Copies of this chain bind each other. A is one copy, B any other.
Amino acid sequence: MAAKRTGEKYEAIINAAVRVIAQFGYHQAQVSKIAREAKVADGTIYLYFENKDDVLISLFNEKMGAFITDMEQSLSKVPSPDQQLRELIRLHFEYLVEDQQLAIVTQIELRQSNPDVRREIGRILKKYFNVIDQVLLSGVEEGLFGKDLNVRTARNMIFGTIDETVTSWIMNDCKFSLMDQVEPIHRLFLKGLQN
């Protein structure tokens, strides 16, 4: 029987995985520990997921999918690429500030996972890159950024900066205010990219 990939327990298991990984770290997140946290039997996990990797990939996929959907919706409400860029930074940070466990899992722990999981994560991340690229492209269209803007270079700067900032925030035990970084980073980007 194939994995169900939906339902109440499907979500319970994913959320249990986030909690367990955040608390114990990737290498101490055994299937049985996740099962116990989700209040299901070990075997039940295999009714909803192919294997342990599938749990982790699904976790990232579900959370990142929701994030991207939210992001797209939020960005659509914002008229100018300028403000879209700010909103992108803001919402990215907000998401992780609101769910610090998720932040730890996606920023730190899942990066230690095995090659298969990391490959899938990379694939999922591309969707986010597309969102960033869209913002950049409309910025070019509207004349905010120069026509000669190399989108990949700019996207690497944007994602790299945001990602490194979050990592730095977590590594510093979330002691500095991530939200306070939105404006300065936005200003850096704008000045750097502007025509």
Contact = CB atoms under 8 A, between A and B. Distances in A.
A43 B150 CA distance: 51
Interface string A105-134: 000000111110010001000000000000
Contacts of A160: 157, 160-165
A122 B118 CA distance: 20
A96 interface: no
> How many monomers of this protein are in the complex?
4
A2 interface: no
A137 B51 CA distance: 50
Given A27-B115, A115-B27, A157 B185 contact: yes
Interface in A30-62: 32
Contacts of A74: none
